[in-house]
Structure 1
């Protein structure tokens, strides 16, 4: 039986209060990692994630931070390092469609917000994780992209899809930059996953249409994305570099 042990590893999961981020935080804690549960506005949810981990014998702490704000990110890393230790595993999960809007009606402010939350956040959190990983000559970074990065997303989601495509490209470029330092960078691209994201941005009718187009005939579960992430941060993936695992039930195949 294969057993994954992440004891003595500190993992930072951004946007970990709900949905996929929550599932990833719980999964990493189950395998022994100490988890920094980042959130922006979902304080109560993030604290529940921490409570669940602690009740199950793990170690975790919640950290409020707008991961698109550089000063806030710097401060968060300092606090994590003081309280939990250096970050060994970074999961760049935070992101949002923000709101559906076609390009001709989109304000520059909305465009910037979408880019910041999905793309700038990945840049900033990676930037401040890298120095300590380089010192240790090891580390794992997993970015959460989206099936939208490959198919352009739905109506009103052009900029979300574009920002996630940037995350996918950033993953490959950063992987090349860091592989010589023992840091492995990869990504996962969820398809239609049962999360508050789709509760907020996708109609029931559209979700039914999605399910009909998925060979597995169902939405995915956050835990199924978390399993792919766990693989990428575990000793089972030591020869995987710059890859993007599609977790979509067959909706999009190469």
Structure 2
């Protein structure tokens, strides 16, 4: 049988990298998009290949339409896509909205919402039956912040991720006749470098007491949810976002 081919944006670190490893174990070949960390990309590629999957890593900026076109063109050279995990994202900054530089607000929305929209658009054109595709699954990675609002930390990120939740609901209905399921996951506090990259390396320890399960999640726990959503067991699931946030 032909192996599934899945593209994962933000696929070489954190939740994206864990997802790549989970999907490789499930028998997928991978195309992994990433923005800047070449060393992490190479490390992830080797790990995926060690798991028995073919893997292509592609450096691109998903907030740039040209970057999205480049990513999907390279993926097409690798084979026919059967799924897309829309995982690229970052908070970029921690602080009150009124004290956040305008350019940071703009970049946050461009990366987390505009980028997700552009990737979803390209995914439909790659997967949709009216475009010559065979159908497939799109998984949008949102955030628990989309419903909590993240006051005092990153309201602009929460707002962008709320848009991703709306994207999942609307696009699922729009493309159901194209053989495409569109689903989402909303991670809560997860042990990745997202907080360190935003300038607050101690945030996990500072706020984990507010999680009902009493700890941060691990990237693999989110990846397992994504793997299930992409599999046949979730064949009747579309237009909804699964919260993976320890009860918060």
Q: Same fold (TM over 0.5)?
A: yes
Asked whether the equivalents of residues 63 and 110 of structure 2 are also in contact (C-alpha less than 8 Å), the reply is: yes
> What is the match of residue 225 of structure 1?
222
Structure 1 residue 57: deviation in Å?
2.0
Q: Aligned partners of 1:195 and 1:131: how far apart in 2? A: 31
Q: Aligned partners of 1:137 and 1:58: how far apart in 2? A: 21
Q: Aligned partners of 1:207 and 1:52: how far apart in 2? A: 26
1:108 corresponds to which of 80, 83, 102: 102
What are the superposed Cα offsets for residues 15-38 of structure 1, whole Å, 9 maximum, x if unpaired? 112110100011111111110011
Partner of 2:7, secondary structure, is strand
2:69 corresponds to which of 49, 54, 74: 74
> What is the match of residue 3 of structure 1?
none
Q: Does 1:200 align with 2:197?
A: yes
Q: Does 1:144 align with 2:141?
A: yes
Structure 2 gap ranges (5+):
none
Q: Does 1:184 align with 2:184?
A: no
Q: Aligned partners of 2:19 and 2:2: how far apart in 1? A: 16
> What is the match of residue 18 of structure 1?
13
What are the superposed Cα offsets for residues 98-144 of structure 1, whole Å, 9 maximum, x if unpaired? 11242223333222101111011111111112123112341100001
> What is the match of residue 243 of structure 1?
240
Q: Aligned partners of 1:49 and 1:7: how far apart in 2? A: 23
Partner of 1:67, secondary structure, is coil
Asked whether the equivalents of residues 191 and 204 of structure 2 are also in contact (C-alpha less than 8 Å), the reply is: no
Q: Aligned partners of 1:166 and 1:123: how far apart in 2? A: 9
Q: Aligned partners of 2:170 and 2:19: how far apart in 1? A: 24
Partner of 2:246, secondary structure, is coil
Asked whether the equivalents of residues 187 and 244 of structure 2 are also in contact (C-alpha less than 8 Å), the reply is: yes
Match runs of 1:47-66 below 5 Å: 47-66=42-61
Cα RMSD for the two superposed structures: 1.6
Structure 1 gap ranges (5+):
1-5
How high is the TM-score relative to the length of structure 2? 0.93
Asked whether the equivalents of residues 34 and 60 of structure 1 are also in contact (C-alpha less than 8 Å), the reply is: yes
Structure 1 residue 209: deviation in Å?
4.6
What are the superposed Cα offsets for residues 189-212 of structure 1, whole Å, 9 maximum, x if unpaired? 0011111113334453x5335322
> What is the match of residue 124 of structure 1?
118
1:96 corresponds to which of 90, 94, 97: 90
How high is the TM-score relative to the length of structure 1? 0.91
Q: Aligned partners of 2:51 and 2:138: how far apart in 1? A: 25
Q: Aligned partners of 2:194 and 2:209: how far apart in 1? A: 19
Q: Aligned partners of 1:60 and 1:227: how far apart in 2? A: 19
Higher alpha-carbon deviation: 86-95 or 125-134 = 125-134
